[in-house]
Structure 1
Amino acid sequence: MDIKYNRWKNITAVMLGTINNETFFKARSVSVVLDELRKWNENAYVPKVISIGPRYNGRQELLPMEEINWRCMFHLFNRSLGYTISPDKYVNNCMDTILKMDVAVRSSYLGEIELDRYDLAAIVFNDGCFLLEFLISGSSIDSVIPPFGGRISAIGPNPALEIGKMEVVMRDHTLLENQIPLFVLGVLFQNIFDKGFHYLVHEIHNRALSLFGFHGDLKSVDSKFAHFLELASWNINKE
């Protein structure tokens, strides 16, 4: 069958698949800083500790966080221990799914992303796994699906708990260009954990809200958020 037709079908299926309650998609939602603003204080728009998404990935000053990201990912996938599929299988499933969502991910960013689909998928996969573990740690989900089946990790404590206490990290999470679309977290959650736990997806969003000072149940909020900055802005504007 025609290759372009198959690609069109796949793109359509992926884009439609992102439009539901857990994996909300919004095109061009991750914007860029206008040059007129950037020239006055460029440092105000640049992450100091952690890169999220493709804009600042690979910057020398942000590389020290990469080891912490990998440790968080290790804890995340070891939350699957004790279920029917090995962690390696979950990793492969997630990688395949993120790669297939290239169009949806790429369409979330304003402007051209000059990365091929594999490089972009690698960044989004790594950062998405880090953010998912960052949000699960310390949340109600932590005790429901503990890493290592509740046993002590051989590589030490989960760094995500300490990261959440760092103001500079929270600041980096709300920078305009330092974002990945939140639907990625929903997709990763659904690929990593058994369907019996999918009811917990909304708790991820509740946890994100709590980190920005909102204490309540997101089910009672008639809003959908494309990324962390949009969520933080909503929290400020509602007050």
Structure 2
Amino acid sequence: MASQCQKEIVADEDRTVSIEIKEGDERDISSLSSNEWLNFIIDARGESRSGSINSLKPKIQKVQPMLREVESNKKCYDPRVVSIGPYHHGKPELEAGERIKIPLARLYLKDSSKETVHELYKEVVNVAGEARKCYAEGLTDFTDESFARMMFLDGCFILQYIYGIVNAIPEVSEIIHHAPLVRRDLFLLENQLPFLVLQVLMCLKSKKHEGEKMITAFIKRIRGEPGERGGLMEKIENFFQKNVWRTQSHREMMQQRNSEDNPPIHFLELVRRQYIDSTTSSIGCHITGDWYSRRSARDFTSVGIQFKPSKTSQLTDIDFKSTCTSGTLQLPPIIVDDITKSILLNLAAYEACPDSITDVGVTSYICFMDSLIDQDEDVKVLRAKGILINFLGSDGHVADLFNEIATDLVPSPHAYVEVKKKIEKHHRSRMKIWVADWLHTYFRNPWTFIAVTAAILAITLSVFQTILAAIQTYLTAHPPKDIKGFSGLEMMKRRM
């Protein structure tokens, strides 16, 4: 595609110069004289064109070089089985993945007439121009026809794969022998399809909102969100949440409204919306956080801070509650498996894009978890509390995962600021720390507890016996006055 050209009138002190500037071409600006360059920056028209840099950036970007340079994370950004969109299209190592697209697309279209399919393809062609603008210029060197075909085929493939996983269609698993790897490839930043293409194709089988609900169900399935808990109290709580409090329903309603008002750019953004609650992610963004010292999960337990899973799996659902003798840090439960690292890294890479949202919620969560996890013992603490559900391997592997993905990531300085303040306040309370240390030292295992309890009982009995002996000695030395001619001691003897 040819670059669009714009003419900018730059006023110099002595003359007016007409300068032709290509969109996104910084070399033309750098060739200006100092006066021309400064006037271009100051000029309102130049500001509206160059100052609003986000408008010139593609919506589906490449991973930032800084993140790709991390050796342990390099393989997490490239597809292994199937390419989606133009960035990795045509790579020799992905030829096998191209061959499974057509059978799945055929499954998606099989219940429709030829006329319907042709009309659907025309609708994709109509949005192909807009879809091309979502990618970086120069990386979509396809003819209009080949680009539209790619959008159509990739979109049908994605929707049929998701439909097959959600509804457990056996034909899908028969065609795709590496379903987990395909699932992983759909979450890559550079392997995305514009969501407007998926919206057009979803209309073939369902209404717009029903199609998005199916995709949301797929994302929840991949995330492994905790289902309803089985105990009586948990069932009562779930009943009230769904029918009285409606907390979960309200959150889903807000997410659907947000999707209607601000549709996602691509599939990965929709995934991020499932991880980050948009109604709470920006809370505290204008609050300046105090200094927060880094402590591991084991360090927390040693000062009386316990861990508890949050009621939701939203990464923003982190809270801290302090009592007179202890504290509780609530963290969202998360399943850690073979694709967790890739998903979190690509979500963080999306947040690092120049045109992305300013709220780095996933990045901040990764860094917060990294501060809690130094080694396998920290993972063991969180796993025992149901916060980390480990399907990856050893606890050491999980610790390495969080330590590696946090490399070169910078969290928001305002993330979890209120939680951090509460933790620091709790940690600075000497009385709470003393009580916690005493409990941790003497009550950390049953045998210590029995020994301490026995010692306390022995001391209590000894004190009680001493008091009784003192009372008896006192009464002997100082008998009470006679009552009806008898001394108190004689009365006691008579009664005996």
Q: Give yes or no for TM over 0.5.
A: yes
Aligned residue for 2:269? Answer: 230
Query: Offset at 1:32?
Result: 1.2
Report if the CA contact (8 A) 2:100-2:175 is conserved. no
Alignment of 1:1-239 (within 5 A): 28-41=58-71, 42-80=74-112, 86=113, 88-112=114-138, 113-139=140-166, 157-159=170-172, 166-190=179-203, 192-193=204-205, 197-198=206-207, 201-213=208-220, 219-221=253-255, 222-223=258-259, 224-238=263-277, 239=314
Letter in 2 for 1:36: M
Could you tell me the percent identity over the aligned residues?
27
- Structure 1: any 5+ residue segments left out of the alignment? 1-26, 81-85, 147-156
SS of the residue corresponding to residue 131 of structure 2 reads helix
- Structure 2: any 5+ residue segments left out of the alignment? 1-56, 226-247, 278-313, 315-496
Deviates more, 1:37-46 or 1:157-166: 157-166
Aligned residue for 1:14? Answer: none
Ranked by relative contact order (alpha carbons within 8 Å, sequence separation 6 or more), the top structure is 1
Could you list the per-position Cα deviations for residues 26-71 of structure 1 after superposition, in whole angstroms to 9, with x for gaps in the alignment?
x832111122222334422110111111111111111112232111
Provide the rounded CA distance (Å) in 2 between the counterparts of 1:161 and 1:203. 26
Query: Offset at 1:110?
Result: 3.4
Distance 1:235 1:164, change over 3 A: farther
TM-score by length of 1: 0.67
Which has the higher Rg, Structure 1 or Structure 2? 2
SS of the residue corresponding to residue 171 of structure 2 reads coil
Provide the rounded CA distance (Å) in 1 between the counterparts of 2:128 and 2:174. 30
Provide the rounded CA distance (Å) in 1 between the counterparts of 2:217 and 2:202. 19
Report if the CA contact (8 A) 2:173-2:179 is conserved. no
Report if the CA contact (8 A) 1:72-1:160 is conserved. no
Provide the rounded CA distance (Å) in 2 between the counterparts of 1:234 and 1:59. 31
SS of the residue corresponding to residue 175 of structure 1 reads coil
SS of the residue corresponding to residue 55 of structure 1 reads coil
Distance 1:89 1:228, change over 3 A: same
SS of the residue corresponding to residue 111 of structure 2 reads helix
Higher strand share: 2
Letter in 1 for 2:132: R
Letter in 2 for 1:119: S
Could you list the per-position Cα deviations for residues 154-181 of structure 1 after superposition, in whole angstroms to 9, with x for gaps in the alignment?
xxx5226875983322221111110001
Report if the CA contact (8 A) 2:80-2:94 is conserved. yes
TM-score by length of 2: 0.34
Please tell me the root mean square deviation across aligned C-alpha atoms, in Å: 2.9
Q: How many residues align?
A: 187
Distance 1:237 1:172, change over 3 A: same
Query: Offset at 1:232?
Result: 1.7
Distance 1:119 1:162, change over 3 A: closer
Provide the rounded CA distance (Å) in 2 between the counterparts of 1:30 and 1:130. 19
Provide the rounded CA distance (Å) in 2 between the counterparts of 1:208 and 1:184. 14
Could you list the per-position Cα deviations for residues 173-231 of structure 1 after superposition, in whole angstroms to 9, with x for gaps in the alignment?
111110001221221233x35xxx53xx2222222222222778865512332212112
Provide the rounded CA distance (Å) in 1 between the counterparts of 2:141 and 2:110. 33
SS of the residue corresponding to residue 63 of structure 1 reads helix
Distance 1:139 1:212, change over 3 A: closer
Aligned residue for 1:23? Answer: none
Could you list the per-position Cα deviations for residues 46-103 of structure 1 after superposition, in whole angstroms to 9, with x for gaps in the alignment?
10111111111111111112232111111111122xxxxx2x2223222222222222
